[in-house]
A and B are shown apart, each in its own frame.
Chain A
Amino acid sequence: MKIKNKNGKEKLGKKGVFFTLISIMIVATLFLWFNGRQYASNVDTIPVTSERISRANDFVNDVNTHYIDTFSTVATYTALSAIITYEKERGAFLSYDDLQCALKTVPAYGIMLNGTWTDQSSDIYFTTTPNLAQNPNPQSNFISFGGQNSASQSFSPSSSGNLQSATFSVKWAMPPWGNIIVELRDSACGKPGPNVIDSAVITSFIDFLPHTVTAIFSSNPYLVSGREYYFVFSSTGSQSSGVRIDKGNAYPQGQAYKTGTYPISFYLDSKLSSPIIGNNYLSAKLQELANLSKDIYFYNTSFYIIDYSIYQDNQSGPWAVIAEANVNYTVNTTIAAWLANISVKSKVPIAGIEDPYIAIKTNGLYTNKIVNSFEGITTDYLTNSKLWGYGNFTNMLKYKAYKPDPNAPNYLMRFYDNMSASSCCGIESLIYFDDYNVNMSYIDYCYWSNICPGSQPGLNVSLYTVDELSIPPFNFLIEPYHAVQYQISQNTTFYTNDSTGWA
């Protein structure tokens, strides 16, 4: 076909723009192809999802390997310092049990438990909504509390769930009337723990009849099956024994207790002349972390400290303590969630912390800080290499340093005045003051305990003076075992077999 223009002249037709058409088609194809590629590469949902999960995984890894370890180290060091100060300011050692409890609750919550709980013969009546645990059938057999007295009932949920409320039966024994406070606490050291999970106030009634009352826990705390919790009852408005709470059946999963101590727990800082712990306890730091993760990552993070302990063993050696935190946590990012129980062990050096033993034994007159080196040499090196001698011995006295010794008590034993041997972690220092002249070895743990290696408690041990050192009034004495350990036997002179020591 030929196409003609207006003047009747023949046109070239489609053949005339053949290459142009082809080129436009090629370019159009290229456009479509590139646009398609660009569209595909901008599908952001997949990288964003994977990136968010990857970031959350990094956060969880940091929780496992870094955050808890860091917080736990500082919490432990601070807690030890605070407990020493508490002992010093009280002028008395804690008992073994109280110390073990404090080593759990102070680094974890900054709180010390107070008082002794006595077992009651039968258990308190209670039911819960939903039915997570119960001790039904009130018996009209009451336990009294109020004022400075508190009662408690431990229980263990048979299933996990959010607790909405708990029901009890109470009556007044005597006015004045007041509100009844019911706390839900965790458990620590076999008694109501430091962590008040929730609390409820029951408005008082003005008669002497039994009333079934319901404590509503507004935060609906999540209780875990098998874990131990406590209801703790108190009333500030009443006199002692003003309120009575009804007992029920014998409850195999818990026990009722009563204490005459008030309060049953306190922030340790509140008992010190100046605060030491501040917000450096583990639960506060973990809460800060959870809040930040919510603010910047939009994660719902929660932590629960199942257990906390501080101890010394072969792993810690004499110059550190092991802080072991068992923590349950959840990190929920909405597209993925992590739920884990982890145990984090932190090795916390004790260098620089005070020795409570010297401070309390001298009524705060002298304080020693744990130092294990002088003039660039560690006492471990001197002990292991048998390089002790008169010069290093006098330097140890001068620098108030500590040396390892398997017959000495370890650092933690010094908190509760136990001077028996710790083969892994024993440390000793030399008495450097002349306020108390007694016929006893001037190795710190021998000095007050009258127990020295090679002697039986109450039995005599031979004592020697040290040349050019034992100059009255500083009558430094040493017994044969330590004279050999420090390699100064040739610098000693027999003094007496009568080691009278401290009364």
Chain B
Amino acid sequence: MGIGNKKKIVNKVCFQHNNKLRGKKAYYYSLDAFIAIIVITIGLFIVLQSGSNVQPKQNIYIFSESITNYFTHTKIYDLNDELYPTTIKVWKQDGTITYFTNNLLEQTGELYAKGQLPLANQFVENVTGNAIDPNFNFELIIDNIQIFNETKIPKENSKSLISSTVLITGLIDASTSWGPYVAEIRVWQ
């Protein structure tokens, strides 16, 4: 066997070996890319998950602030009778609601002070029907008495709970005032 033939044989072996090696390399590169895709996918999933944990904290804070502001800054005369259950309109007419300058929390406090707890509960239910995000739990307590409760998960199991307290007082008539009471709005998720 001549040198030329030996070289041919070596070249052939090398070529075959190189072909094998190339096949393996391609396989490794594919595997590498595949692993990279998995790593990125899992990584993105974890990052987004941890990112989404931040969101509820933001939302519950905003929701708590907005529901407290709604209760303390919305006056009875602000309520559009057409957009709320007819009981609100009826109460305005039959004298159940007398002071239209009361805000919603004061009106609830007045009903509580008059001993009309079921009416107070119904009032809060009516005015919050469209205002409460169903993803949140909400509770209104006046003078340590629970007036309204919209609970899907118990407070004990909540991830985060925000409580806002407000002092409320008002008139029953010119000779009698009620309060001041501590009103507490609790929101949790």
Chain A contact residues, CB within 8 Å of chain B:
10, 12, 15-20, 22-24, 26-27, 30-31, 34-35, 37-38, 41-42, 47, 51, 55, 58-59, 62, 66-67, 70-71, 73-74, 77-78, 81, 280, 285, 288-289, 292-293, 295-297, 348-349, 351-352
A20 neighbours in B (Cβ, 8 Å): 32, 35-36, 39
Tell me which of A23, A78, A349 has the highest count of chain B C-beta atoms within 10 A of its own C-beta: A23
| Interface residue? B28 (CB, 8 A) | yes
Contact present for A38 and B54 (CB under 8 Å): yes
Instruction: Indicate whether A41 sits within 8 Å of B54 (C-beta atoms), given known contacts A70-B171, A348-B174.
Output: yes
Q: Find out whether the CB atom of A58 lies under 8 angstroms from the CB atom of B72.
A: yes
Instruction: Determine whether B4 belongs to the interface, using a CB cutoff of 8 Å to chain A.
Output: no
Q: In the bound complex, do residue A41 and residue B28 qualify as a contact, i.e. CB atoms below 8 Å apart?
A: no
Q: Are B165 and A289 in contact (CB under 8 A)?
A: no
Q: Which residues of A contact B165 (CB under 8 A)?
A: 296-297
Say whether B33 faces chain A, with CB atoms less than 8 Å apart: yes
- A290–B50 CA distance with the chains assembled, in angstroms: 44
Residue of A nearest to B183 (CB): A296
A143 to chain B, nearest CB (A): 44
With A67-B167, A296-B182 given, name 12 new contacts (CB 8 A).
Answer: A12-B24, A17-B35, A20-B32, A27-B43, A37-B54, A41-B54, A67-B169, A74-B171, A74-B175, A74-B176, A288-B180, A289-B167
- Set A18, A26, A77, A292: member contacting B32, Cβ < 8 A: A18
**Distance in angstroms between the alpha carbons of A50 and B124 in the assembled complex:** 28
- Quick check: A70 and B50 within 8 Å, CB to CB? no
Contact across chains for A34 and B51 when beta carbons are under 8 A apart: yes
Decide if A34 touches B39 in the complex (CB within 8 Å): no
Q: List the 3 closest pairs (A to B, CB-CB), nearest first.
A: A27-B43, A19-B36, A23-B36
Q: Which of A18, A31, A292 contacts B43 (CB 8 A)?
A: A31
Q: Which of B24, B57, B167 is the most central at the interface, judged by chain A CB atoms within 10 Å of its CB?
A: B167
Proximity string of chain B (106-131) to chain A, C-beta cutoff 8 Å, 1 when within and 0 when not: 00000000000000000000000000
Distance in angstroms between the alpha carbons of A10 and B170 in the assembled complex: 88
| B 143-189 contacts with A by CB, 8 A | 164-167, 169-171, 173-177, 180, 182
Size of B's binding interface in residues, CB under 8 A? 39
User: Is the C-beta of B44 less than 8 angstroms from some C-beta in chain A?
Assistant: yes
| Residue contact A293 to B167, C-beta cutoff 8 Å | yes
Which chain B residues numbered 1 to 50 have a C-beta less than 8 Å away from chain A? 21, 24-25, 28-29, 32-33, 35-37, 39-40, 42-44, 46-47, 50
Instruction: Name the residue on A nearest B54 (C-beta).
Output: A38
Chain B residues, CB < 8 A from A23: 35-37, 39-40, 43
> Could you jot down 17 A-B contacts, CB within 8 Å?
A16-B29, A19-B35, A23-B43, A34-B51, A35-B50, A41-B54, A55-B164, A58-B72, A74-B176, A77-B175, A288-B180, A292-B167, A293-B167, A296-B167, A296-B182, A349-B174, A351-B174
| Residue B70 lies at the interface, judged by CB distance under 8 Å to chain A | no
Q: In the docked arrangement, what's the CA distance between A274 and B169, Å?
A: 26
Which of the residues A30, A47, A295 comes within 8 Å of B44, measured between beta carbons?
A30
Q: B93 contacts the other chain (Cβ, under 8 Å)?
A: no
Q: Does B136 contact A (CB under 8 A)?
A: no
Cβ-defined contact, B174 with A77, below 8 A: yes
Query: In whole angstroms, how far apart are the Cα atoms of A284 and B176 in the complex?
Result: 15
Residues on A with C-beta less than 8 A from B57 are 41-42
> Closest residue to B181 on the A side, CB-wise?
A292
Shortest distance from the beta carbon of B74 to any chain A beta carbon, whole Å: 14
Whole-angstrom distance between the alpha carbons of A38 and B173 in the complex? 52
Q: Which of A38, A47, A66, A71 contacts B50 (CB 8 A)?
A: A38
Name the distance in Å between A286's Cβ and chain B's nearest Cβ.
10
CB distance from A284 to the nearest CB of B (A): 12
A74 touches B51 (CB 8 A): no
Chain B residues with CB under 8 A of A27: 39-40, 42-44, 47
Q: Which of A10, A15, A280 contacts B177 (CB 8 A)?
A: A280
Residues of B with C-beta under 8 A to A348 = 174
- In Å, the complex CA distance between A62 and B166 comes to 10
Quote the shortest CB–CB distance from B169 to chain A (angstroms).
5
CB–CB A70/B169 < 8 A: yes
For B50, what are the chain A residues with a Cβ–Cβ distance below 8 Å?
A: 34-35, 38
Q: Is B58 an interface residue (CB 8 A)?
A: yes
B35 to chain A, nearest CB (A): 5
Complex Cα distance A73/B170, Å? 10
Do A70 and B44 touch (CB < 8 A)? no
Nearest CB in chain A to that of B39: its residue: A23
A288, B42: Cα distance in complex, Å: 59
State in angstroms the CA–CA spacing of A55 and B166 once bound together: 9
Contact B169 A66 (CB under 8 A): yes
| Interchain CB contact under 8 A, A17 and B182 | no
Residues of the A chain whose Cβ atoms lie less than 8 Å from the Cβ of B42: 27
Q: How far is the CB of B14 from chain A (nearest CB, A)?
A: 12
Q: Name the CB-closest residue of A to B182.
A: A296
